[in-house]
Amino acid sequence: MKRKVTLKQIAKELDVSVSTVSKALRNSKEISLDTRSKVQAFAKLYNYRPNNIALSLKNKRTKTIGVIIPEIVHHFFSKVISGIEKEANNRGYNVIIGLSNESFDKEVINIEMLANGSIDGFILSVAKETLLLQDYHHFYETINQGMPIVMFDRVVNEIACDKVVVDDKLGSKKAVAKLIESGCENIALITTKDYVNVGKLRTQGYLEALEEHKIEPKASLIIKAEENKDKEVEIETLEKEISALLEKEKAIDGIFAVNELYAITAMKIAINKGYKIPEDISIIAFTDGVLSKHAIPSLSTISQHAVEMGEKSATMLIDKLEELTDEEEYQTQVINTTLIERDTTR
């Protein structure tokens, strides 16, 4: 009897990436004909089937939810999980956590593994590499085979599923407006590359706030951080960019960062260069976590209400599983943000 293989095993056997195997099985022209032929022949030989989830369909529920997050150490994601578990447990469901580590391959593997009879549906925030590659086949396959997905925070608009997001653009406008109203005129932005949808929306909010207050945006005041799978390397690179920015742009009197790690990195460098916070430079970050509260000085932030986001995500998924909502209708719930003023703003 032929053994059943996974994408990961095929990739290992043929010494290629999971992404290459996935695309080859879909006959993508991005992959050479020779590689496509090898992958498809191997998959056929070992009877590969994507996302075999028959055991967990409507007639055989596991009462378990799969949650896939990009990072485990990020306070925001831990609070979302807390909200998911609270609502799931109240309704008699268990939760299994998977970690993508911002990797497309790991995200695909996690979905394949958990969808194979272990869980009833997914709650997930999309990995940065998946957003960069724009390869969403694993979401389509899962949904098409009867397993619902709820996306939160980082979502893919093209995927027909329920979503829970915050108003990233409006939250950023609140933050930048606060800086302007406290007297800042040269506000730097530390953000992500535009392929990360939340970073793109927060950048748009920054630009719109400047425009509404008749301040001309300057490209020289914007840092778009380079992603690196090694976080230490990523932060070292960002530190160099921030340091160079403060050396070059002496008039900077405000900084808005799209997450608290970027903001605290900027604050550390500014203090080391002799700036007083907030007298010389005021700083606000999107996301409100442990770092913000315990930094010295404590960091002003935009709160995303992560626990509420988790609770709503779980409610939407369980309602779908229990057929309390139409399985063909999808909604996007938008959670309002809150400005929390601490010691880095005037």
pLDDT digits (tens, 9 = 90+) for 21-32: 888 888 888 899
CA Rg, the chain, in Å? 22
Question: Are 12 and 40 in the same domain?
Answer: yes
Residue 343 lies in a domain: no
Per the document, the length of the chain is 346
Question: Are 296 and 173 in the same domain?
Answer: yes
Among residues 23, 19, 60, which one has the least CA distance to residue 40?
23
- Per-residue model confidence (pLDDT) at position 73: 77
Percent of the chain exceeding pLDDT 70 equals 95
Question: Are 300 and 174 in the same domain?
Answer: yes
Among residues 140, 147, 145, which one has the least CA distance to residue 120?
147
Question: Are 182 and 292 in the same domain?
Answer: yes
Confidence of residue 4 (pLDDT cuts 50, 70, 90): low
Residue 39 lies in a domain: yes
Question: Are 239 and 263 in the same domain?
Answer: yes
Q: Looking at 111-120, 194-203, 209-218, which range is the least confident one?
A: 111-120
Q: What is the CATH number of the domain that holds 296?
A: 3.40.50.2300
What's the distance, CA 89 to chain centroid?
A: 24
Rounded Cα–Cα distance for residues 318 and 144 (Å): 18
Question: Are 290 and 310 in the same domain?
Answer: no
Query: Average of pLDDT values for 261-277?
Result: 97
pLDDT beyond 90 at 313: yes
Structural domains of the chain, count: 3
Confidence of residue 229 (pLDDT cuts 50, 70, 90): confident
Place of tokens 């990739």: 11
Question: Are 235 and 296 in the same domain?
Answer: yes
Residue 157 lies in a domain: yes
Question: Are 284 and 178 in the same domain?
Answer: yes
Question: Are 226 and 102 in the same domain?
Answer: no
Residue 158 lies in a domain: yes
Question: Are 323 and 209 in the same domain?
Answer: no
Place of tokens 């406008």: 173
Question: Are 90 and 65 in the same domain?
Answer: yes
Spatial CB neighbours of 219, under 8 Å, sequence gap ≥ 6:
none
Residue 344 lies in a domain: no
Rounded Cα–Cα distance for residues 291 and 268 (Å): 13
Rounded Cα–Cα distance for residues 298 and 3 (Å): 56
* Runs of H (alpha helix) within 30-73: 33-45
DSSP structural state of residue 4: P
Among residues 336, 316, 320, which one has the least CA distance to residue 328?
320
Residue 195 lies in a domain: yes
Catalogue the E-assigned strands of the chain.
64-69, 94-99, 121-124, 149-152, 162-166, 187-191, 222-224, 254-257, 282-286, 300-303, 332-335, 338-340
Contact (Cβ atoms closer than 8 angstroms) between residue 188 and residue 252: yes
> What tokens does 282 get?
């005021």
pLDDT digits (tens, 9 = 90+) for 51-74: 544 444 444 688 999 999 999 878
Spatial CB neighbours of 236, under 8 Å, sequence gap ≥ 6:
none
Query: pTM for the complete prediction?
Result: 0.84
Q: What is the mean pLDDT of the chain?
A: 92
Give the 3-state secondary structure of residue 325: coil
Rounded Cα–Cα distance for residues 295 and 290 (Å): 8
Confidence of residue 146 (pLDDT cuts 50, 70, 90): confident
Question: Are 207 and 174 in the same domain?
Answer: yes
Domain residues for 194? 168-304
- Per-residue model confidence (pLDDT) at position 72: 83
Q: How far is CA 292 from CA 6, 117, 179, 267, 343, in A?
A: 42, 40, 17, 11, 10
Strand order across the 300-303 sheet: 222-224, 187-191, 254-257, 282-286, 300-303, 338-340
Confidence of residue 3 (pLDDT cuts 50, 70, 90): low
Residue 2 lies in a domain: no
Please give the angle made by the CA atoms of 255, 261 and 264, to the nearest 5 degrees: 55
Q: Crossing angle for the helix pair 7-14 and 33-45, nearest 10 degrees?
A: 120
Residue 150 lies in a domain: yes
> What tokens does 171 get?
């939250």
Contact (Cβ atoms closer than 8 angstroms) between residue 205 and residue 167: no
Q: How far is CA 181 from CA 255, 282, 293, in A?
A: 14, 11, 23
